[in-house]
Each structure stands twice: as C-alpha cells, then as structure tokens.
C-alpha cells in the first residue's frame, strides 16, 4: 500500500511539492501518494487531525499555516522552537504530532551544494518576516564571521536577533554599510509581487559577493539588481526548495533522497 503524504496551504495549487516528493519516492523505491490539500483558515487543525487519523504519513505546511502547525505540535525541533514556524509534520510511534522546519537547513545545504562557503564569511540577510525567521538560526549555526539583518522595518530584524541569538547588527534598508558582504540572501517577499526592493548601499562587492533569492521560478528585482551590480554569482530559491523537501522526506521515511538537478525546473 502507498504511503500518503500531502502539502496543506491556502493557496496551494502552485505547490511543486507533489512533483518533488513523487520524484524522491520513485528514486528511493517507496510507493507514495502525495496530494495538495486546500484548507480554510479556521479548519487547519481539523484537517491535520483527520489526515493523520486516516493513516497519513507526513505533511508539508505552507502559507499561511506554518505558525499554526508549530502551535499544534506535541514535539518541536529546535528550529521550530526558535522560529515559531513548522513546514513538516508527522506522527511518532506514540501517535504524537512532531514538527520540524527544514527551510533553514535546506538553505544552508543548497548554498553548500552551490559551492558557497558560510563559515567565517560576512553574511547579510535581507528581510525579517516568516521566511527570514525560519532560516536565521541555521545560518547562524553555520559559523559566519558576521550575520546581520537588514529590513524595511528594522525593529523586526532586531527582534529576530534578540529571540534567536547572535551578535549581528539589525538595520534599515536605507542605511549605508561600511564593509560589503560575501553573501547576501534576500528573504523578503518582494520577488513574489515584483515590488521594488531597496538594498542597503555598499553591501555588495562587484565580482566578489554572492547573491541568493529565496523566491524561485522568476527573476526577481533583487536578482536584477545583483546582476547590475556584477555579483560573482546569483541563485534563485529553487535549490532551497529541493533541499528543504529532501529533509522533510527524510523525516517521514528515514532516508535522504539523492540530489536531483537544480536546473531541472520542469
Ligand atoms: P514571508 O513569510 O514571505 O517572510 P512576511 O512574514 O509577510 O512574508 O514578511 C515579508 C518580508 O518581506 C518582510 O521582511 C517585509 O518587510 P517589512 O517587515 O518591513 O514589512 C519584506 N518586504 C516585502 N515587500 C518588500 C518591499 N517591496 N521592500 C522591502 N521589504 C519588503
């Protein structure tokens, strides 16, 4: 009998998770049925409960339910505790609900797979919403020399550092930085609606800094800016999408699927 997994969100029609997980399952020889579940705002807890009651193996959680997924869980990983958000749920042998957030480790793994060094580097994270909160601590744990956060609303950047640790600087997008960064990660949602993004002046060293946008499937304003500024390399979030999915799959099935091509955008 096939294992049953699903992604829950609203909206969810755009999700690439079924394709990715069916690919992993095929590679690993695991029979899998993976579906998309569109849940209403008020119905999330009930949908999760019903999914596991009917024998479901694992869930991915996407917008806008990641925080509620963390609140529902009986056991949370350190990443979930620190970020307050979960993207992966499953039941343990005692039928307790377990939660992980694989976004941050997925980003770190994706950058490493691209050959980008994190340890000892100067890293700037732009954005301080849910996406930034989910990746901040794994980035910090990778041992950068500096991990600063710039956000349109600097207080939200300050809150991440206060809540999750680190001794980086939090500042606004209007600021001029003294020393460029080796790696600049865009965790704002500006790429989703193609809205203009102001980037702190002097943060990029032409021919040296690497830029990563966590949004995938489109050339974002941040990526266009990075191109104009002659960044050494520019990546979109497709590799992070794959890596976070691999880690979710391994939570459900105990096996980390082999890496597929990051260029295969189907
Ligand atoms: P997500 O879950 O995608 O992180 P979010 O929690 O709504 O979504 O956070 C959106 C982030 O993108 C925030 O950091 C937001 O800045 P504010 O905190 O100042 O609102 C940032 N953002 C979105 N559009 C932006 C834009 N055009 N310019 C600058 N920052 C933007």
Residue among 104, 127, 157, 191 to mutate when testing ligand 1 (max atoms within 8 A of CB): 127
Task: Look at the domain 3-101 and name its fold.
Answer: Rossmann fold (3.40.50)
Task: Answer whether 102 contacts ligand 1 (Cβ < 6 A).
Answer: no
Among protein residues, the one whose CA lies closest to atom 3 of ligand 1: 189
Q: Per-residue pLDDT for 265 more than 60?
A: no
Q: Which residue, 143, 152, 207, 149, is CA-closest to 174?
A: 152
3-state SS class at 234: strand
∠ CA 220-226-228, rounded to 5°: 105
Give the pLDDT confidence score for residue 266 in this predicted structure: 35
- The band of 262, judged by pLDDT with boundaries at 50, 70 and 90, is confident
Q: Using the 8-state DSSP alphabet, how is residue 43 labeled?
A: G
Decide whether any atom of ligand 1 lies within 6 Å of the 197 Cβ: yes
Confidence of residue 223 (pLDDT cuts 50, 70, 90): very high
Q: Tell me how crowded residue 41 is: count the other CB atoms within 10 A of its CB.
A: 9
Average pLDDT (157-169) is: 97
* Rounded Cα gap, residues 261 and 44, in angstroms: 33
Average pLDDT over residues 34-46: 97
Please give the backbone phi and psi of residue 179, each rounded to the nearest 5 degrees, phi first: -135, 130
Q: Is 158 in the pocket of ligand 1 (CB under 6 A)?
A: no
Query: Across residues 85-108, what is the average pLDDT?
Result: 97
For CATH 3.40.50.10860, the residue range(s) in the chain are 3-101
Both tokens of 206, joined, read 């032409």
* Catalytic residue ranges: 66
111, 257 Cβ separation under 8 angstroms:
no
Decide whether any atom of ligand 1 lies within 6 Å of the 153 Cβ. yes
Helix (H) or strand (E) holding 135, with range, is: helix 130-141
Domain with CATH 3.40.50.720 in the chain: 104-239
- List pLDDT tens digits, range 185-207: 999 999 888 889 999 999 999 99
Residue from 70, 87, 152 to probe ligand 1 pocket by mutation (most atoms less than 8 Å from CB): 152
Expressed in angstroms and rounded, the spacing between residue 231 Cα and the centre of ligand 1 is 23
DSSP state of 257: P
Average the pLDDT over 170-178 and give the result: 97
**pTM for the whole thing?**
0.95
DSSP-derived 3-state class of residue 146: strand
Query: Residue 264 above 70 pLDDT?
Result: no
Say which residue, 195 or 161, is predicted with more confidence: 161
Q: What is the pLDDT of residue 263?
A: 61
Q: How far is the CA of 56 from the centre of ligand 1 (A)?
A: 33
**Domain 104-239 classified CATH 3.40.50.720?**
yes
Sheet containing 58-61: give its strands across: 32-38, 3-9, 58-61, 88-91, 97-100, 75-76
Among 155, 188, 203, 221, say which to mutate for ligand 1: greatest number of ligand atoms within 8 Å of CB.
Answer: 188
Predicted local distance difference test score (pLDDT) of residue 226: 98
């Amino acid at each position: 009998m096939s294992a049953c997994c699903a992604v829950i969100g609203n909206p969810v029609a755009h999700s690439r998770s079924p394709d990715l997980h069916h690919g992993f399952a095929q590679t690993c020889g695991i029979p899998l049925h993976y579906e998309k579940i569109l849940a209403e705002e008020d119905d999330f807890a009930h949908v999760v409960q019903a999914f596991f009651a009917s024998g479901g193996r694992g869930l991915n959680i996407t917008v806008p339910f990641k925080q509620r997924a963390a609140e529902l869980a009986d056991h949370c990983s350190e990443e979930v505790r620190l970020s307050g958000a979960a993207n992966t749920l499953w039941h343990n042998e005692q039928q307790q609900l377990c939660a992980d957030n694989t976004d941050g480790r997925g980003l770190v793994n994706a950058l490493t797979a691209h050959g980008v060094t994190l340890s000892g580097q100067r890293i700037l994270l732009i954005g301080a919403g849910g996406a930034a909160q989910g990746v901040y601590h794994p980035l910090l744990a990778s041992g950068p020399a500096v991990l600063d956060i710039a956000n349109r609303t600097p207080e939200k950047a300050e809150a991440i550092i206060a809540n999750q640790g680190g001794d980086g600087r939090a500042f606004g997008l209007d600021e001029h930085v003294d020393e460029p960064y080796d790696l600049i990660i865009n965790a704002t949602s500006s790429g989703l609606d193609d809205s203009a993004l102001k980037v702190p002046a002097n943060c990029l060293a032409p021919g040296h800094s690497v830029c990563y946008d966590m949004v995938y499937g489109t050339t974002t304003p941040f990526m266009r800016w990075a191109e104009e500024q002659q960044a050494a390399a520019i990546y979109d979030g497709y590799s992070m999408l794959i890596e976070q999915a691999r880690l979710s799959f391994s939570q459900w099935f105990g096996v980390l699927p082999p890496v597929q091509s990051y260029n295969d955008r189907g």
